[in-house]
Structure 1
Amino acid sequence: MSAPLFLEQFESTLTRTPDELAVIDLSGEEPVTLTYGDLDRMATRIAARLLALGVEPGEAVAYQLPSGWPFVALTLAIWKAGATPCPILPQLREREVAFILNSSESRVYIAPDVFRRFDYRPFVKSVLQETPRVKHAIVLPLASGDPHSSDLGGLLAPEADAEAVRAELAARKPGPDSHSQLLYTSGTTGEPKGVLHTHRTLSEALFIHTRTLGLTSKDRIWVPSPTAHQTGFLYGMLVSFYIGAPGIYHATWDVEKARLAIEVYGATFVQAAMPFLSDITRADRPPKGLRLFIATGAAIPRQLAQEAREKLGCAVVGAWGSTESCLVTAGRPSDPPEKLWGTDGRVLDGMQIRVVDEAGRELPPGTEGNFQVKTPAMFVTYLHHPEWYDAAMTEDGFFDTGDLAVIDEDGYLRITGRKKDVVNRGGEKIPVVEIEDLLYQHPDIADAAVVAMPDERLGERACAYVVLKPGARHLDLSDITDFLGERGMAKIYWPERLEIIDEMPRTASGKIQKYVLRQDIARKLDRERAEQTG
C-alpha cells in the first residue's frame, strides 16, 4: 500500500479544518500567522501568476528565499501550477546560483530584496548576466512582513485572476510520479548534484517518519533549519503539512526566537543539526516544552545528550539521512541511553541498511565498511547525470552513501568516516574539491588540500592546508577568504583555518594523504585546548 501523498494530506486538512493554523512566522518584529485556508488562497493566487509567466508543467522554478511564510506559500503555489520547486540557500552567491539556474533550466528566479544585510537587487542583475535562460526575475520585498498587505513584488495575482484559472490548476495537479523537488547538494567532483524526488518518494519518507515517531496534528513543528535545505523543507515544512499541524518558522537562527517558538508558540518537535541543540541547551535559560529533538549531521556526544535531556526536559535522539535517501535511521525515545547517544539510531520501519566490503559482500555486525541503504523514499535521478545515479545504485537496489559505518549487533548505526571528500559543517556539506580548484588558481599557492577539523559545536569545520610557491609572500586566512569571495564562492564554504606547510604528505602514486592532515589538525587543536586550560 502506497503512502498518502502529502498534497492529499494538505487538502484533507484544508477541507476539515481550514481555520487551523498552518504557519507561524517569527522572522519579523511581529509574528505572522496563516491558517490553512489563508495559505491555500495565497498559494492559488501565486500559482495564477506563475501560469501568467508561462510556467509549464514539470518545469523547475528557482527561488532563493529564507524560511518563512513567503517560502511556504510559494512552494505550495509551484506544486499547484504543476511545476517543480528548486529552492536555493540564501547564503549562496553568484558562482553557485548561476550554476543552479543554468543546470535547472529555470526560466523564473525569485529572490528577496534584502536579507541579513545583503542587498540581492544588484546581485540578481549580476546573476542574470550569466543565466540567459532566465526570463523572469522577481524580487520580493521582505520588509513588509504582512501577507495581507503585500503583493509579493507582483507575484501575487488578483483574486479574480486566481478564480479564472482554477480549472487549469486542477488539471495540472501533480501525480505520484511527478517531480516534487529539485535540490542541489555539494558534489565531490566540484559540480553540485541536482537531486530529483517525486511526490511519491517524499510522501513515503513522510509517512514512515511521522508513523515511526508518533507525530500527530496535536504537535507543533519547529523549523529552525533553512527550508531551502532538505532538513527544513521535508522534515519541517512538509511534516507539518502531512500531519495537519502548524509549522513554526524564523528566517535566521537566534536562541531567543527559539525560546519564543518553544515556550510561547508551543513547539513540540524539531529535527535539526546538532549546533541548534547545543545552542539552546547551553543558553542561559534553556527553553522547555519540546517533546522530541532529532539531531542530525553527526552522532550526539554523550555529554551534550545528557545535558540536553536534563536542561530541555525532552527526548533527544540521533539520526542519519541524506538528500537522496531522506531519513533512514533514527533513535527512539524508548531506546537505552547507551544506544541513543553516540550512534545514529536504528533503521526506520520499511527501510533497509547494510555495511559491505569493496566487493559488495555484507559484513558482520561490528565491522566497518561501506554504508548502503534501501528505501521507498529514494530519489529518482541526478538531473542531467543519470550515470551518477547508476554508479551510486547497486543491482539489488541499494544506494551507496559514500560513508563508512559500523552496525552493531542490536542494529544501531555509527557513521565512522567517509569515502566522499566533503566537510560536514553542522549538517551543511562543504564542496572540498571546488574550494581546492579555486585555491590552485591563487598566484602564491603551489599545492592545496581542504580537510575537516573537529569542532565541538558544528561537528566539523574546513581547514585549508597550502604549500606556497618559491618566493611567494606569506598568506593569512583573510587572503584566502578574500580570494574565494572575489571568485563568487559563498562565505559558508570558506575555510575557517589556514595551515601553511612545506610539502603535502602523499602516497607512492602521488595522492595527497588527507587522513594525515586530519590527524595533524586534530592534534594541533588538542594541544591548543590543553594550553588554554593549563
Structure 2
Amino acid sequence: MGASRTFWELIERRAALTPDRPVLLQGERRLTFGELRERSERVAAGLYERGVRPGSVVAWQLPTRLETALLSFALTRLGAVQTPVIPFYRDREVGFALRESRAEFFAVPGLWRGFDHTAMAHRLAAELEHPPLVLDAYDSLPDGDPSLLPPPPAPADGEAVRWIYWTSGTTSDPKGVLHTDRSLIAAGSCLAHALRLSARDVGSMAFPFAHVAGPDYTVMLLLYGFPAVMFEQFALPDALAEYRRHGVTVAGGSTAFYSMFLAEQRKDPGHRLIPTLRLLAGGGAPKPPEIHHAVVREMGVLLTHGYGMTEVPMITMGAPDDTAENLALTEGRPPAGMEIRITDETGEPLPYGAEGEVRLRGEAVCRGYLNPDASAPAFDSEGFLITGDVGRLQESGHLTLTGRLKDIIIRKGENISAKEIEDLLHRHPGVADAAVIGLPDPERGERVCAVVEQPPGAAALTLAEIAGHLRAEGLSVHKLPEQLELVDALPRNETLHKVLKYRLRERYA
C-alpha cells in the first residue's frame, strides 16, 4: 500500500484491498476490514447526529474491545480530536484530562471491573465550567444512516492535531501530548516494517487500546492486512486459550509480558506454550539481556524489543534479521526519517559509542504538548526532542539505552547507572525482577538500594549474597548496593506494567 496521509485513508485502502479478511478477533466475535469501514461509517453518522463535528474534542475511557476500535475509527472519519484515557485511571487523572482538553464529549464503559465509570463521569462533569456530554459506549454505539444525515467529507489533512495522549503523571500532573495522523502512522509504519510481518500472521493486543500503542498496532494491521486478538482483561494463564485458539504468531507488550510468558513456559518446559508463536515483540520498558536469552532459549521464539514513549511511539525496533548480540543488547535501529542524536549535558553532539542524552527529530515525534509552557523546554534549538534518556549509538544505527538522567545515582560524586546493576541482578536465579534506586544519604549524597522480587519458593536473599553475585559479575565495588529490600511484587502501572520507582523511593526514603 502507498503512503497514506490520514487514518481514514488507510482504512479505506485496506478495506478495498481485502474486505473479507478479519482484522479484529475477540472471543467468538470477529470484524473484517470491510465491516470495520462500514460500521465505522455508521457510528460516525450516529455521532454526527449527537453533535460531534470536525474538531470536536472527544475523550474516551474504554477497555480493549471491538466497540472501542469502532468508536476511535468513527472519530477519525469525522475529523474529531480524540483524547484516549487509560481505563484504570480515576478521578484525579481523568478530571485533569477532561479539564485540560476541554472535552465536549466523554465516552465511558459504564460499570466495568467493579467501578462505575458513568457515575465518575457525571461527578467530574458537574465540577467543570464546560461539562462534556457523557456517552455509554461499552457494548453499544451510536448508529446512524450516512445517507440520511451524511457527515462532511473525511479529513484529508494528516498534519492537523487530532490526538491528545497523556503521559503517566507519576510524579506530577500528566502532560497532554499532541499527535497528528501522520505522526502516528509514521510510528506504526516503523513497527510494521521492522518486524517483517505478513498477511499470514496473527497478532495480539494484550495492552490497553487507549495506550498510544493502540494506533501503532492498528497501523500495522492495516498496512499488512492481518488480524489481531483483542484482550479486554489480560491475565495468564487464562489468556492462553485465546492465543492457542486463534493461532497467534506474534505476541508481547513489554518486558513484564515477556517475563509472564516465560514463567508459564517454565511450568511445562517440555511443551511449547503457544505452538504457533514465533515472535515476542514489545517495548516501553528496559529489557535485561538475560530475559532476552531466556525467552529465546526456553520458549524457542525470537524476541525483538524496541524503544518508544508517548511523545514518540516508535523510535527504534529490533528486527528478526538482527544479530543475536544486537537483539539482546540494543533497542534496535530507527527507521528512515528518525534522527537520533547523542549529546553531552550542553546539547553538543557526541561521537558514535559515547554515552550521553538521547535526542530525537523526525515525523513520528509529537507536535508538542497541550500546555504550550511545557513544549518550549522539551525541544532544543534545532527541533530535537529532549528525552531525558541516556544511551549510546553505534555506527550501524543500533541504540543501547543505559538509563535515564533521573535514574542515575550519584554516590560520593560518582555516577552509577541503575540499569547496569539491574541487568546483572537478573542473572541471579533468586531474582525474578529488580529495581535499583538511589536514596538520600547524609554521608554519600545517595546510597544504592536494590529492591528485589523473588521467584515463588526461592530462599530469601541477603545483602551479602547480592553483593557477592554482583562482584562475581564484575561490578565495581563503589557501585554495590548498600541496602536490599525484598518485596512480594514490585509496584507497576496498569498499562505496560512498568515498575513505578517513585513509589519505591517514597517507601524507602
User: TM class, shorter-chain normalised?
Assistant: 0.7 to 0.9
**Runs (5+) with no aligned partner, structure 2:** 409-417, 467-509
What secondary structure is seen at the aligned counterpart in 1 of 2:330?
Answer: coil
Take 1:524 and 1:124, find their aligned partners in 2: how far apart are those partners? 37
Q: Which residue of 2 aligns with 1:52?
A: 49
Query: 2:235 aligned with 1:254, yes or no?
Result: yes
CA distance in structure 2 between the aligned counterparts of 1:527 and 1:265, rounded to whole angstroms: 39
Task: Give the match's secondary structure for 2:178.
Answer: strand
Relative to structure 1, is the Cα distance of residues 271 and 235 closer, same or farther in structure 2, using a 3 angstrom cutoff? farther
Residue 462 of structure 1: how far off its partner (Å): 10
Q: Which residue of 1 aligns with 2:475?
A: none
Comparing 316-325 with 391-400, greater Cα deviation is found at: 391-400
Relative to structure 1, the CA distance from residue 524 to residue 120 in structure 2 (aligned partners, 3 Å threshold; closer, same or farther) is closer
Could you tell me how far 1:311 is from its partner in structure 2? 3.5
**Aligned match for 1:163, one of 141, 147, 150:** 147
- Specify the SS of the correspondent of 1:85: strand
**Is 2:91 aligned against 1:117?**
no
Q: In the alignment, which residue of structure 2 is the partner of 1:344?
A: 331
**1:128/1:16 CA distance change after superposition, 3 Å:** same
Amino acid at match of 1:46: V
1:66 and 2:63 aligned: yes
How far the C-alpha of 1:64 sits from its partner, in A, is: 0.6
Write out per-residue CA displacement over residues 195-229 of structure 1, whole angstroms, 9 at most, x where no aligned residue: 11111111222233322332333322211111111
1:529 and 2:461 are equivalent in the alignment:
yes
Q: Distance in 1 between matches of 2:432 and 2:204?
A: 20
Residue from 501, 505, 509 that aligns with 2:441: 505
Identity of aligned residues (%): 28
Tell me the CA shift for residue 189 of structure 1.
6.7
User: Which residue pairs with 1:415 in the alignment?
Assistant: 401
- Deviation at 1:88? 0.6
In structure 2, the CA distance between the partners of 1:256 and 1:208, relative to structure 1 (3 Å rule), is same
SS of equivalent residue, structure 1 residue 381: coil
Shift of 1:179: 2.5
Compare 294-303 and 51-60 and name the one that shifted more. Answer: 294-303
Asked if the contact 1:235/1:271 (under 8 Å) is kept, the reply is: no
Q: 1:4 to 1:298 in 2, by over 3 A?
A: same
Indicate whether 1:375 and 2:362 are aligned.
Answer: yes
Bigger shift: residues 64-73 or 276-285: 276-285
For residues 209-250 of structure 1, the C-alpha deviation after alignment (integer angstroms, 9 at most, x for no partner) is 32233233332221111111112x133233212322212101
Give the aligned partner of residue 148 of structure 1.
none
Q: 1:20 to 1:253 in 2, by over 3 A?
A: same
How many angstroms does 1:398 deviate by?
Answer: 1.7
CA gap 1:523/1:224 in 2 versus in 1, 3 angstroms: closer
The alpha-carbon distance between structure 1 residues 46 and 532, as it changes in their structure 2 partners (threshold 3 A), is farther
Q: Does structure 1 residue 226 correspond to structure 2 residue 208? A: yes
Q: Cα distance 1:262–1:533, how it changes in 2: closer, same or farther (>3 A)?
A: farther
| 1:187-202 alignment, distance < 5 Å | 187=169, 190-202=172-184
TM-score (norm 2): 0.78
The question of whether the paired residues in 1 share the 8 Å contact of 2:435 and 2:450 is answered with no
Aligned to 1:388: 374
| TM-score for both structures, normalised by structure 1 | 0.74
Amino acid in structure 2 at the alignment position of 1:406: R
For the structure 1 residues 376 and 91, does the alpha-carbon distance in structure 2 shift closer, same or farther, using more than 3 Å as the test? same
Q: CA separation of 1:366/1:230 partners in 2, compared to 1, >3 Å: closer, same or farther?
A: same
SS state at 2:371 partner: coil
368-377 vs 266-275, which moves further: 266-275
For residues 417 and 316 of structure 1, do their structure 2 counterparts lie closer, same or farther at Cα, with a shift above 3 Å needed? Answer: same
List aligned pairs for 1:201-350, cutoff 5 A.
Answer: 201-231=183-213, 233-256=214-237, 258-283=239-264, 284-285=267-268, 286-350=273-337
- Write the deviation string for residues 293-317 of structure 1: whole angstroms up to 9, x where unpaired: 2231334323322221234332102
Between the aligned partners of 1:252 and 1:380, the Cα distance in structure 2 is: 32
Match of 1:4 in 2: 4
Match of 1:97 among 83, 94, 97: 94
Q: 1:458 to 1:383 in 2, by over 3 A?
A: farther
CA contact (8 A) 2:389 2:404 kept: yes
Name the amino acid aligned to 1:3: A
1:179 aligned partner, one-letter code: V
Amino acid at match of 2:216: Y
Aligned pairs, number: 440
Aligned runs of 1:380-529 on 2, under 5 Å? 380-385=367-372, 387-408=373-394, 410-420=396-406, 504-505=440-441, 516=446, 519-522=448-451, 529=461
Distance 2:159 2:396 in 1: 36
Separation of aligned partners in 1, 2:356 and 2:378: 16
CA contact (8 A) 1:280 1:287 kept: no
Partner amino acid, structure 1, of 2:199? S
What SS does the aligned partner of 2:315 have?
A: strand
TM-superposed CA distance for 1:371, in Å, is 0.9
Give the drift of 1:262: 3.2
Shift of 1:358: 1.5
Q: What's the secondary structure of 2:94's corresponding residue?
A: helix
Shift of 1:320: 0.7
Q: Which runs of 5+ in 1 are unaligned?
A: 143-151, 423-450, 466-503
> Is the 2:203–2:229 contact (alpha carbons within 8 Å) kept by the matching residues of 1?
yes
Task: Please tell me the residue identity of whatever aligns with 2:215.
Answer: L
CA distance in 1, matches of 2:407, 2:165: 20
In 2 relative to 1, CA 2–363 (structure 1 residues): closer, same or farther, beyond 3 Å? farther
The yes-or-no answer on 1:18 pairing with 2:19 is yes
The CA deviation at 1:522 is: 4.5
Distance 1:463 1:410 in 2: 32
CA distance in 2, matches of 1:348, 1:60: 31
Q: CA deviation at 1:261?
A: 4.1
User: C-alpha separation between the residues in 2 aligned to 1:102 and 1:464?
Assistant: 35
Per the alignment, residue 484 of structure 1 pairs with: none
Q: Distance in 1 between matches of 2:228 and 2:452?
A: 43
User: Residues 111 and 117 of structure 2 are in contact (CA less than 8 Å); yes or no, is this contact kept in structure 1?
Assistant: yes
